[in-house]
Amino acid sequence: MLTTDDDLSRAMTMIDVELSDKDQNRIKLYINNVKQAIMTLIGVQINSDEDDGGFPQELNYIVDEVVTAKYNKFHNEGMDMVTEEGLTLKFSSDDLQPYYVMLQAWVDNHQPANNGQAIGWE
């Protein structure tokens, strides 16, 4: 698994609620899934010899933000919007979409020259 204790600690700080063991396991799954998705998008292979799978630490802020978004829409998966007692929550169908520009910048700065080839995000 790609999730480290630091990842869980950061996520719990961002969410700022007491979490049961079951909730912590769900958060760990979110972290793992987000890291795998990011690694796929940026073209980095998972390294099973490292605790975090070789995930680029400078991208942890994206993991933290996406995990928080996923936690906040728990029980509302698949919905675009939820309205309850005057409060409306609107959800993105692609939680990583707001970070594509930052992920592209990371690729541009950390990958060998791609000889003018563009990477598409959509």
60-84 pLDDT, tens per residue?
Answer: 999 999 998 888 777 556 556 667 7
- Across 85-95, average pLDDT: 70
Q: Is residue 117 part of a domain?
A: no
Q: What is the mean pLDDT of the chain?
A: 81
Q: Helices 60-72 and 5-15 meet at what angle, rounded to 10?
A: 50
Domain count, the chain: 1
Range with lowest mean pLDDT among 35-39, 52-56, 62-66: 52-56
Q: Other C-beta atoms within 10 Å of 99: how many?
A: 21
Q: Is residue 116 part of a domain?
A: no
Print the domain residue range for 17.
5-110
Is the pTM higher than 0.85?
Answer: no
Q: Is residue 121 part of a domain?
A: no
- Across 41-45, average pLDDT: 88
Helix, strand, coil distribution of the chain in percent, nearest 5: 50, 5, 40
Under 8 Å between Cβ of 20 and 27: no
Q: Is residue 65 part of a domain?
A: yes
- Across 16-34, average pLDDT: 88
Confidence at residue 59, expressed as pLDDT on a 0 to 100 scale: 94
